[in-house]
């Protein structure tokens, strides 16, 4: 079996896999800006339109808990190929379904297959030398965040040019090409736990969570920060489209594209972690994330200065969230290699809960108190993470 000391990871392969995780993760978010059109075409009541997105997210969450841990017992390349095939199947179902039930099944399958991202990350970490592991994980997280941020404006643009069906057709084609390329270039990685039973694998996850303090802490930190991220991107389009700014959907898409630049923090965070500076970098990521919400309070709503500060807030928030994600995964991937997929599944599942809570709080706080209340709730989430962080021992 190949080990980190004779790593097959070239710079080109790392860049390819960074692009791959972005392309795969984008499938989770394509439907968000076009929910109204999809639900209308399927005859779904407006009050239930959220199911168009929710079932994809549910599939992803279950995939993280039920499928990602299989990376500790099955040959990883074969598992990745199987999951990509499921994603392609789901995307084609989304593109061509004309009834609710088939569409919902396809949405769930797409989300389940998209959890492949969290199989690829520990797979790559396995091959990365210890001294470069943070930088490699950082490169993948840059790709992940870019894919997430580009997905919404891409879906809006393709829908305007063609139709909402085209979004999923083109994604299925892109995913098929990606699957072929990855099949040709990915090295095999047979895990050391290949004789482990699936039931035993799942049971062990509870034990791992209870007995791995660094996993619990890092997952909690990122759950708070990802909750703030989800809150921001739930409420900020409402603010921008509202009477204060009255921006068009195209302008809001451009705003989202600018936020992508925050992903540059990922490789920097990985480099800092490799240098042994995780504590300082974590503190900085949390403070930047909290400060981004304070910045949005500086200028009067509706002014050019307020819009500019909101753009800077988006960039800083994305940078802080991305950096902390890399630091967290770098920390848990430094633990026993035979547990990496399970540890990553637990880590991501906890973050997923934080993101869901953040989205809910974003809609609630904006409805109750506009952007003023929303920004204070957003500030509180990384601030709470920072207070918890202060209780951590300074030794890694």
Write out pLDDT tens, residues 130-142: 888 888 888 898 8
- Residue 305: Cβ-neighbour burial (10 angstroms; 0-12, 13-18, 19+): exposed
Determine the Cα–Cα distance for residues 340 and 336; give it in Å rounded to an integer. Answer: 7
- Residue 131: Cβ-neighbour burial (10 angstroms; 0-12, 13-18, 19+): exposed
The answer to whether residues 250 and 352 belong to one domain is yes
* Cβ contact 201:70 at 8 Å: yes
CATH number at residue 67: 1.20.1250.20
Mean local confidence (pLDDT), 192-196 = 74
- Residue 329: Cβ-neighbour burial (10 angstroms; 0-12, 13-18, 19+): buried
Please indicate, yes or no, if residue 354 is contained in any of the structural domains. yes
The answer to whether residues 90 and 222 belong to one domain is no
Boundary residue ending a domain (196, 228, 261):
196
pLDDT of residue 3: 43
The answer to whether residues 131 and 189 belong to one domain is yes
Contacts of 36 (CB under 8 A, 6+ apart): 49
Sign of CA dihedral 386, 391, 395, 396: negative
Boundary residue ending a domain (177, 196, 215):
196
For residues 174-205, one letter each, b for 16 or more C-beta atoms within 10 angstroms of the residue's C-beta and e for the rest, the string is bbbebbeebeeebeebebebeebeeeebeebb
- If one counts the domains in the chain, the total is 2
Structure token pair of residue 359 = 């989205």
The answer to whether residues 171 and 318 belong to one domain is no
pLDDT of residue 251: 82
Q: Could you tell me which residue, 9 or 174, shows the higher pLDDT?
A: 174
The answer to whether residues 223 and 190 belong to one domain is no
Taking each helix axis as running N to C, give the angle between helix 304-332 and helix 213-241, from 0 to 180 degrees, rounded to the nearest 10. 160
Q: Give 201-249 pLDDT, tens digit per residue.
A: 888 888 899 999 999 999 999 999 999 988 898 788 888 888 989 887 6
Determine the Cα–Cα distance for residues 277 and 297; give it in Å rounded to an integer. Answer: 31
* Cβ contact 353:223 at 8 Å: yes
- Domain of residue 116: give its range: 6-196
Q: Give 267-322 pLDDT, tens digit per residue.
A: 888 888 888 899 999 999 999 999 999 998 888 778 889 999 999 999 999 999 98
Please indicate, yes or no, if residue 1 is contained in any of the structural domains. no
């Amino acid at each position: 079996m190949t080990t980190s000391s004779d790593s097959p990871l070239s710079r080109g392969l790392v860049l390819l896999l960074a692009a791959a995780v972005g392309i795969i993760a984008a499938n989770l978010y394509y439907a968000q800006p076009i929910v109204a059109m999809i639900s209308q075409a399927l005859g779904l009541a407006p009050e239930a339109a959220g199911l168009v997105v929710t079932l994809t997210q549910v599939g992803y969450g279950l995939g993280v808990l039920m499928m990602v841990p299989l990376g500790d017992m099955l040959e990883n390349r074969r598992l990745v190929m199987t999951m990509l095939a499921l994603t392609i199947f789901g995307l084609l179902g989304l593109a061509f379904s004309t009834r609710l039930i088939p569409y919902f099944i396809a949405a769930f399958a797409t989300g389940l297959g998209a959890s492949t991202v969290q199989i690829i990350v520990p797979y790559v970490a396995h091959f990365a030398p210890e001294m470069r592991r943070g930088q490699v994980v950082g490169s993948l997280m840059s790709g992940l965040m870019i894919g997430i941020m580009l997905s919404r404006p891409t879906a809006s643009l393709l829908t305007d040019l063609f139709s909402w069906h085209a979004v999923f057709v083109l994604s299925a084609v892109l995913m098929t090409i990606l699957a072929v390329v990855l099949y040709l270039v990915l090295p095999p990685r047979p895990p050391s736990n290949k004789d482990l039973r699936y039931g035993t694998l799942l049971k062990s996850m509870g034990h791992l969570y209870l007995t791995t303090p660094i996993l619990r802490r890092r997952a909690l930190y990122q759950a708070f920060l990802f909750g703030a991220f989800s809150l921001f991107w739930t409420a900020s389009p409402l603010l921008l489209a509202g009477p204060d700014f009255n921006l068009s959907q195209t302008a809001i898409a451009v705003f989202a594209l600018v936020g992508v630049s925050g992903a540059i923090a990922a490789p920097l965070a990985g480099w800092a972690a490799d240098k042994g500076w995780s504590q300082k970098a974590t503190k900085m990521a949390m403070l930047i994330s909290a400060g981004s919400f304070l910045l949005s309070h500086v200028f009067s709503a509706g002014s050019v200065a307020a819009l500019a500060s909101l753009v800077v807030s988006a960039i800083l928030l994305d940078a802080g969230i991305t950096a902390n994600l890399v630091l967290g995964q770098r920390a848990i991937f430094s633990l026993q290699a035979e547990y990496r997929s399970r540890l990553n599944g637990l880590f991501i599942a906890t973050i997923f809960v934080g993101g869901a809570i953040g989205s809910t709080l974003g809609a609630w706080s904006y409805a109750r108190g506009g952007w003023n209340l929303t920004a204070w709730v957003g500030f509180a989430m990384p601030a709470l993470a920072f207070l918890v962080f202060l209780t951590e021992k300074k030794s890694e």
